[in-house]
Amino acid sequence: MTKRGILIVISGPSGAGKGTICKELLKRNDCYLSVSATTRSPRAGEVHGENYFFLSKDEFLKKVEEKDFLEYAEVYGNYYGTPKSSVEEKLNMGHNVILEIDIQGALKVKENVQDGVFIFILPPSMEELKQRIIKRGSETEESLMLRFKSAYKEINYISKYNYAVVNDTVDNAVKKIEGILIAEKCRVDRIKEKILDSKEGLIHEQLYD
């Protein structure tokens, strides 16, 4: 029987650097990043099906009705949702899947996926967070203020997560997440059936593959 992959939920305030960390994690590790659906307009350079599935509000709400999302949330006036079937398919094939989603979405996933790994990305400081959002340059003044105000509130939800990772440098943050994943793969509740089933003893490949 193929061992189910690990669902890794990465969230945290806008500007904490979740996107960059996820890209680097994908480069260095064998895992999938779930592509979300959104009703927000594409930013320059964003590609449909790669960065997001860009949908109209009607298309999105139809998918909500058809229960196509593992979770969905309204974030800064737009809808965002995680397609359920592709995530389930990858997990069942034994692949680790990363969701880079907002805090409301992460909390909904936590209700349904008890063995998920929930990681909160923190900026080194709030001032640094502000500078990162400004530097990104993709926001209007209004959206920038909204994102910054939300960041203050969102940090209060950190206690709902399993791990907190400060994004001081991308390399450090990615190394910490890789360490978390190694520890998660060793957790007895993930591998106990394999240990108990094993007639041959604790063979490395049997436990972790």
Q: Contact between 5 and ligand 5GP (CB under 6 A)?
A: no
Binding segment for ligand 5GP among 71-79, 87-95, 125-133, 175-183 (CB under 6 A)? 71-79
Binding segment for ligand 5GP among 73-81, 157-165, 176-184, 197-205 (CB under 6 A)? 73-81
Q: Contact between 122 and ligand 5GP (CB under 6 A)?
A: no
Q: What is the CA radius of gyration of the chain?
A: 18
Q: Contact between 110 and ligand 5GP (CB under 6 A)?
A: no
CA separation for the pair 52, 174 (Å, rounded): 23
Q: Contact between 75 and ligand 5GP (CB under 6 A)?
A: yes
Count residues near ligand 5GP (CB under 6 A): 15
Contacts of 148 (CB under 8 A, 6+ apart): 14, 15, 129, 130, 133
> Cα–Cα distances in Å, from 21 out to 128, 136, 166?
16, 15, 11
Sign of CA dihedral 66, 72, 74, 76: negative
Query: Judged by CB, which is closer to ligand 5GP: 74, or 197?
Result: 74
Give the footprint of ligand 5GP on residues 12-41 (CB under 6 A). Answer: 14, 18, 36, 40
* Torsional class of 196: left (φ above 0), alpha (ψ -120 to 50), beta (otherwise): alpha
Structure tokens at 184: 């998660």
Binding mask 89-108 for ligand 5GP (x = CB under 6 A): -----------xxx-xx---
Query: Judged by CB, which is closer to ligand 5GP: 36, or 96?
Result: 36
> Which residue is at the shortest CB distance from ligand 5GP?
105
Question: Least distance to ligand 5GP from the beta carbon of 43, Å?
Answer: 8
Query: Judged by CB, which is closer to ligand 5GP: 55, or 102?
Result: 102
3-class SS letters over 99-122: EECCHHHHHHHHHHCCCCEEEEEE
CA separation for the pair 44, 20 (Å, rounded): 17
N-term to C-term CA, the chain: 11
Feature table: binding site for ATP? 12-19
Footprint on this chain of ligand 5GP (rule: CB under 6 A): 14, 18, 36, 40, 71, 73, 75, 80-82, 100-102, 104-105
